[in-house]
Chain A
Amino acid sequence: MNPVLAVDGLVVHFPARHGPPVRAVDGVTFTVAERETLGLVGESGCGKTTVSNAIVGLVQPTGGEVRVAGMPVRGADRRTLREIRAKAQIVFQDPATSLNPRMTIGAAIGEPLLVRGLARGRELRERVAALLTEVGLRPEHASRYPHQFSGGQRQRIVIARALALRPALLLCVEPVSALDVSVRAQILNLFVELQQSHAMACLFVSHDLAVVRHVCDRVAVMYLGHLIELAPRDALYTTPRHPYTRALLAAVPEPDPALQRAKPRVPLQGEIPSPAAPPQGCVFHTRCPMAIAHCREEVPAWRHLGETIVACHRAEETPAP
C-alpha cells in the first residue's frame, strides 16, 4: 500500500540577505501510512515547522521530493497544489490567529467546501452544523465570531475547518501548545477520538514529548534540519538510541516530583548552533556528550537498529535505560 505521505530527501534552504543560506531542512526522509500518526519532535529552529509547510506547498523545497497521496508537491502547478491541499489540511498552533476575526465561524468552516464548489446554501449549512457537532460545539454557534469563543473552542473550530474536506492527511503544528493544561486535555481527547473515527494519516508536529507520546504511533526526532532518529513510539521512549533523543527525554520535566528528582541529570551543554552555519560532520557533535573525533568529520549514515532508524556513529553504545 502506498503511504499517504512520502517525504524523500527533503531539503529546504532559505536564502539569507547576507551570508550563507539558512539550511532549515537538510535531507529529511519519512513516510506516514493511512491511519497512522507520526510525531515530529524537536526544539525551535530544528526545521519541523518548515517540513510541514513544505508538505502543503507553503514553502518551496530546495531539493528532494514530497508526495501527498501519490501527487508530487515539488513543482506542482496551481491546480495540482489545490488538489493536494484538498487531501492535506493543517491545524495551526495559535487558535487566536487561525481564524479570520471578521468572518463568522460558520463561514470559516464552510469556506473549503464553498470555494471548491462542493456545497452551498442549505447543504453547506448542514455540513457545517455536522462538523461543529463532531468537534463538540453546537450548530447554532455558526453565526458567531471568533472573539466570542475561548481558546479551546477556537481550536475545535480550526479542527472542524480542517476536517471539512475529509482530508487523507492532517498536519497538526503544535496544536495544543498555546492552550492551558485543562483545555489541552480536552483537545487531545478530541484528537484521539478523531483518529479513531476518521481513516486519516496524521503528522503531529510538537516540541512536547509527552503530548507526542500520548497521540502518536511513531516518532521522528529532528535536530538542526536533520532527522536523527525515527522509531515506533514505545521503542523511542524506552530505548532511545540517539544521544540527543536521550537528552531531550531527560530534559522534559515530569509532573511528578519523586520521578523527576530521581532522574539522572545530564543537561546538554551549550546552545543550538545557527542553521546558517551548521557544524561539520554530525550536526549534534558540538553538544553531544558521546562525541568522538569521528563525529566531527563524518556525517553519520542511517542505520537500522531493531525497529529504530538512527543517524549516530555510536548508536549501539546506548547506555542501559
Chain B
Amino acid sequence: MTGRFTPGIAAILGLLAIYVFVAVLAPWIVPHNPLRQILLLRLRPPLTYSPSAGWFLLGTDDVGRDLLSRVVDGARASLMVGALSVSVSLLSGTVFGLLAGWFRGWIAIVVMRIVDIVLSIPAILLAVLTVAVLGPSFANLILVLGLTRWPRYTRVAYAQTLQVATLPYIRAAEMAGAHAPRILLRHILPNIAGPLMVVATTEFGLMILFEAGLSFLGLGIQPPYPSWGSIMSEGQNYVASAWWMTVFPGICLFGVVLCVNLLGDWLRDRLDPRAQSR
C-alpha cells in the first residue's frame, strides 16, 4: 500500500491483462464448444479424458458441457458487463457531478437529491427489481447496472468539483475569459479525474460481483450462455458430489475482483499524498 510501482502491482496488472486477453479471445481459445452437451459425460471430475471428445481439464457440468470452456466464456460476460456498465455510469455520473458542482444552486439541489434517492434503494435490490420488471437480458443488465450506479460517481465528481472550483487557478481561468465548457473540460475535469478513476476501479470489481450475483439468482445472463454466477448456481445443487462446478468459476471470479480491488487501492494511495507522508 505504498503507491509506488512495485513488482506486486506489476503482477496484478499482468494477471488482469491475462483475464482481458482470455475474455477477448474466448471464442478462439476454448477447447470445446461451451454450449455442447455430452450427456454421457455428465459431472466428470477435472482431468477427465474421453477418447472421442478429448481432455476435460476442469471436468464437466451437470449436462456434460466442458467446464473450462464455460469458465473461459464466462470471463467474457463478466468483463463485458463490468466494462460497459462502468462506462455508462462513469460518463453520466461525471457529467451530472460536474454540472452540479459548477453551477451549484438549484441544479445541484435537484441532482444531489436524485442521487440521494437512487442511493437510498440498495443497489442489488434496485437491480433485482428492475431486471425482474424488464425481464433478464444482457442489454437490460448493462442498463440496470449503469442506471443504478451513476450516483456514486456524481457524488465524487460533485464534491471534487466544488473543491477544485474554489482554487485560484479556476478564478484565474475565469479572469482569462474562458467560458464554462473550457473551464470544466480543461481545468476541472483533468484535476478530478484521479478520484473518479479510483471509484471506477472499485465499481468495476463490484459490477463483476453484481453480474455474478444476479446471474446466480437467475436474473442475469440467461442459460444456456455461461456466466460464472450461473455456472455456480447450477453447481450449487451438486456441491457435495461435483465441487469443481462451484470452486473453479468462484476462483476466477474472486481472482479478478481481488486484482481490481488491489489496483484500486494502489491508485488511491498514489493519488492521496496523505497516505505517503507521516
Contact = CB atoms under 8 A, between A and B. Distances in A.
A and B touch in their complex, CB below 8 angstroms: yes
Interface string A83-125: 0011001101110011111110000100110011000000000
A201 interface: no
Interface string A164-207: 10000000000000000000000000000000000000000000
Contacts of A164: 176
A99 B176 contact: no
A161 interface: yes
Interface in B159-185: 167-169, 171-179, 182
B169 A97 contact: yes
A100 B177 contact: no
A303 interface: no
Contacts, number: 58
Nearest to A111: B176
A58 B173 CA distance: 12
A82 B172 CA distance: 12
A90 B172 contact: yes
Contacts of A102: 190-191
Interface centre among B172, B173, B191 (most CB of A within 10 A): B172
Interface string A1-27: 000000000000000000000000000
Main DSSP-derived SS at the B contact region: helix
B186 interface: yes
A97 B163 CA distance: 12
A56 interface: yes
Nearest to B173: A111
B154 to A, nearest CB: 22
B104 interface: no
A115 B172 contact: no
Nearest to B166: A97
Given A111-B178, A115-B179, A115-B182, A100 B173 contact: yes
Contacts of A97: 167-169
B270 interface: no
A100 B178 contact: no
B167 to A, nearest CB: 5
A94 B172 CA distance: 12
B252 to A, nearest CB: 37
Contacts of A82: 177
Size class of the A contact interface (CB-based, 8 Å): 20 to 34
A200 to B, nearest CB: 15
Contact of A103 (B174, B175, B179, B187): B187
B177 A116 contact: yes
A120 B272 CA distance: 37
A89 B177 CA distance: 11
B169 A100 contact: yes
B178 A115 contact: yes
Contact of B176 (A92, A93, A161): A161
A56 B168 CA distance: 14
Given A100-B191, A102-B190, A102-B191, A58 B174 contact: yes
Nearest to A57: B174
Interface in A51-101: 56, 58, 82, 85-86, 89-90, 92-94, 97-101
A161 B169 CA distance: 11
A85 B177 contact: yes
Nearest to A112: B176
Nearest to B176: A112
A85 B174 contact: yes
A85 B175 contact: yes
A233 B216 CA distance: 80
B178 A98 contact: no
B176 A94 contact: no
A209 B169 CA distance: 27
Interface string A126-144: 0000000000000000000
A226 to B, nearest CB: 25
Interface in B239-270: none
Contacts of B187: 100, 103
Contact of A101 (B177, B186, B191): B191
25 contacts: A56-B175, A89-B175, A90-B172, A90-B175, A92-B168, A97-B168, A97-B169, A98-B168, A99-B172, A100-B187, A100-B190, A100-B191, A101-B191, A102-B191, A103-B187, A103-B190, A111-B176, A111-B178, A112-B175, A112-B176, A115-B176, A115-B177, A115-B178, A115-B182, A161-B172
Interface of A: 56, 58, 82, 85-86, 89-90, 92-94, 97-103, 108, 111-112, 115-116, 158, 161-162, 164
Q: Which 3 residue pairs spanning A and B have beta carbons closest together?
A: A112-B176, A102-B190, A92-B168
Given A90-B172, A99-B169, A116-B177, 16 more contacts: A56-B175, A82-B177, A85-B174, A85-B177, A86-B177, A94-B168, A97-B169, A98-B168, A100-B173, A100-B187, A100-B191, A108-B169, A111-B178, A115-B179, A161-B176, A162-B175
